[in-house]
Amino acid sequence: MSPSNESSTAAAAAARPGKVMTLESINKRVVNFEYAVRGEQAIRAEQLRKQLADRPGSLPFKSIVSCNIGNPQQLQQSPITFFRQVSALTEYPDLMKPENLPMTSKIFPSDAIQRAKELLVAMSGSSGAYTHSQGIPLVRERVAKFIEQRDGYPSNPDNIFLTAGASPGVQTVLQTLIAHDKVGIMIPIPQYPLYTASIALFGGNAVPYYLDEARDWGLTVEELSRSLAESRSQGLDVRALCVINPGNPTGQCLSLDNMRQIVDFCHREKLVLMADEVYQTNIYKPAELPFHSFKKVLKSMGPAYEGVELVSFHSVSKGTVGECGRRGGYFECTGIDPQVQEMFYKIASVSLCPPAQGQLMIEHMVNPPKPGDPSYELYAKENTAIYGKSRPESLRRRADKLASAFNTLEGVTCNAAQGAMYLFPRVRLSDKAIKAAEAAGKTPDGFYSMALLEATGVCVVPGSGFRQEKDTFHFRSTFLPPEEQMDQFIASIKTFHSEFMDKYR
């Protein structure tokens, strides 16, 4: 190394005596963004889970109940058998070799074997191979067919991008939209923190519009207009409106009229509509509030709305599939400039491809066994057990039972869940509790949620993690614990709440 290089190296080392990467030196956006669903409570819950494993009986409860995350299979929701049979066969194709088929056919139904063979061909022979960056063409064709059958309007596989869950799809679109630091993205409050976290990471501005708790978390165009006018008056270049339907954390479902108003609003105000529809099969009032996709609503409004730019997101993480860890999702582009779609493809190609097994799970979700297939009877039974159509289904019962229990608690009100998998009760806390929270350096609902965890093992997410009306306090809980555990789960919350309220009167 030449003397001048040596001196520059020494100077560089002297200028930075410690680590290259420190909280002071790394990207401030990374330091500053927050994602509450796996925040302080979740981290503490894992510590307590480990303590219980290492020292059983050392805590006032026997187990941690993770109600902080919509993770159905962590709370004993069983996977759909057919989906796992196909996954197993695609992961170990030797099972389908002629010499093994007599044994395999005793365990795997013929339609699972046939589906696995078909999908292996679509994946150039192995689930270990990279796939097309936009996703396996056959799977995208099946997603398009599912969308056509659901909505009654054409869908083009070339406008569909398979992703490692809906999250990276949302991030791809936000990253593409946020071209400078004055870009605004409208998000609901309360909101799922994927949006605020991603907007912050990409250097944009979250533009809040408030859902109305008194009206079942209703969304009004008046509020959208207020929020948009205010942010534009502040010089923001507002480019998109994010809608989560059914809502997370609030569980509301939009009416058809409300959806038409939202599409018209985006049309008038030239906003990209980002429709997060990952809970589209978690619908608990199908008669009064069935799910309508924004794709269908937009197309039903006729040629005057052809120019509206819509991106719709779906996932295998929710509904009766609940395969969160497999990382499967997709987004469909409607009215998006083809050259911009090429940019989405370019972003996707940097990560090479979404997980193959995640893509296969998408195929199973949109193309499950049909009546007459050997696996249909079992599929229909399993699907009904989790989310029946003809009777009050399990998830719906749990949602109503837990909401009713919350509404019996002193100072608590809770809207019923119309969809999704969460309840978002409001807790009215005493000044004494609020002061104790401040003294502990926590938000009031963070203080309450942590006390709940320490006393009962129930892990929820403080409402502050989703943002909320000023001076209101909430927490978000899933209603996923198995029905047979619900009574004990509710009893522990009731006991805790009564003791907490007495302590801080």
Ligand X SMILES: Cc1ncc(COP(=O)(O)O)c(CN[C@@H]2CONC2=O)c1O
Report the nearest approach of ligand X to the CB of residue 310 (Å): 16
Q: How far apart are CA 63 and CA 78, in angstroms?
A: 20
Span of 49-57, 69-77, 398-406, 426-434 interacting with ligand X by CB under 6 A: 69-77
- Which of 136, 144, 324, 348 is close enough to bind ligand X by CB under 6 A? 324
Q: Does 276 bind ligand X (CB under 6 A)?
A: yes
Angle between helices 376-387 and 394-408 (to 10 degrees): 10
Span of 25-33, 64-72, 77-85, 124-132 interacting with ligand X by CB under 6 A: 64-72
Place of tokens 């049909």: 370
Asked if the peptide bond before residue 369 counts as cis, ω within 30 degrees of 0, the response is: no
Question: Is residue 427 within 8 Å of residue 412, measured between CB atoms?
Answer: yes
Q: How many CB atoms lie within 10 A of CB 497?
A: 23
- Which of 329, 446, 463, 481 is close enough to bind ligand X by CB under 6 A? 329
Draw the binding track, 153-172, toward ligand X (x: CB under 6 A; -: no contact): ------------xxx-----
Report the nearest approach of ligand X to the CB of residue 135 (Å): 14
Kindly tell me which of 166 and 240 has the beta carbon lying closer to ligand X.
Answer: 166
Span of 68-76, 229-237, 251-259, 374-382 interacting with ligand X by CB under 6 A: 68-76
Report the nearest approach of ligand X to the CB of residue 95 (Å): 29
Report the nearest approach of ligand X to the CB of residue 425 (Å): 16
Q: HSE of 47 in the Cβ direction (CA atoms, 13 Å)?
A: 9
Q: How far apart are CA 33 and CA 193, in angstroms?
A: 10
φ and ψ of 438, to 5 deg: -60, -40
Q: How far apart are CA 84 and CA 379, in angstroms?
A: 11
Kindly tell me which of 108 and 313 has the beta carbon lying closer to ligand X.
Answer: 313
Kindly tell me which of 127 and 248 has the beta carbon lying closer to ligand X.
Answer: 248
Kindly tell me which of 271 and 460 has the beta carbon lying closer to ligand X.
Answer: 460
Kindly tell me which of 166 and 386 has the beta carbon lying closer to ligand X.
Answer: 166
Q: How far apart are CA 145 and CA 156, in angstroms?
A: 9
Q: Which CA distances in Å does 203 have to 33, 39, 67, 242? A: 10, 21, 31, 17
Q: Does 87 bind ligand X (CB under 6 A)?
A: no
Element (H, E) at 209: strand 205-210
Pick out residues in 355-394 that bind ligand X (CB under 6 A). none
Asked if the peptide bond before residue 249 counts as cis, ω within 30 degrees of 0, the response is: yes
Question: Is residue 466 within 8 Å of residue 193, measured between CB atoms?
Answer: yes
- Which of 113, 143, 187, 278 is close enough to bind ligand X by CB under 6 A? 278
Q: How far apart are CA 81 and CA 375, in angstroms?
A: 9
Report the nearest approach of ligand X to the CB of residue 215 (Å): 20
Q: HSE of 452 in the Cβ direction (CA atoms, 13 Å)?
A: 31
Place of tokens 């006032």: 60
Question: Is residue 493 within 8 Å of residue 402, measured between CB atoms?
Answer: no
Q: How far apart are CA 283 and CA 289, in angstroms?
A: 8
Pick out residues in 28-47 that bind ligand X (CB under 6 A). 37
Report the nearest approach of ligand X to the CB of residue 329 (Å): 4
Report the nearest approach of ligand X to the CB of residue 189 (Å): 14
Span of 63-71, 334-342, 408-416, 442-450 interacting with ligand X by CB under 6 A: 63-71
Report the nearest approach of ligand X to the CB of residue 193 (Å): 8
Kindly tell me which of 134 and 375 has the beta carbon lying closer to ligand X.
Answer: 134
Kindly tell me which of 332 and 373 has the beta carbon lying closer to ligand X.
Answer: 332
- Take residue 355 and report the two structure tokens written for it: 């997980």
Draw the binding track, 221-260, toward ligand X (x: CB under 6 A; -: no contact): -----------------------x---x------------
Q: How far apart are CA 393 and CA 385, in angstroms?
A: 7
Q: How far apart are CA 429 and CA 436, in angstroms?
A: 11
Kindly tell me which of 194 and 395 has the beta carbon lying closer to ligand X.
Answer: 194
Kindly tell me which of 96 and 219 has the beta carbon lying closer to ligand X.
Answer: 219
Report the nearest approach of ligand X to the CB of residue 70 (Å): 4
Q: Does 473 bind ligand X (CB under 6 A)?
A: no
Kindly tell me which of 277 and 373 has the beta carbon lying closer to ligand X.
Answer: 277
Q: Does 174 bind ligand X (CB under 6 A)?
A: no
Q: Is 210 helix (H, G, I), strand (E, B) or coil?
A: strand
> What is the number of the residue whose Cβ is closest to ligand X?
165
- Which of 134, 317, 383, 449 is close enough to bind ligand X by CB under 6 A? 317
Pick out residues in 179-198 that bind ligand X (CB under 6 A). 192, 194
Q: How far apart are CA 224 and CA 170, in angstroms?
A: 21
Angle at 176 between CA 170 and CA 178, to 5 degrees: 100
Q: Does 70 bind ligand X (CB under 6 A)?
A: yes
Span of 67-75, 213-221, 258-266, 390-398 interacting with ligand X by CB under 6 A: 67-75
Q: Within 98-220, where are the H helices?
A: 101-107, 110-122, 137-151, 166-177, 194-201
Kindly tell me which of 170 and 412 has the beta carbon lying closer to ligand X.
Answer: 170
> C-alpha 121: how far from its chain's center?
31
Residues at the site binding ligand X, with contacts judged by CB under 6 A: 37, 69-71, 165-167, 192, 194, 244, 248, 276, 278, 315, 317, 324, 329
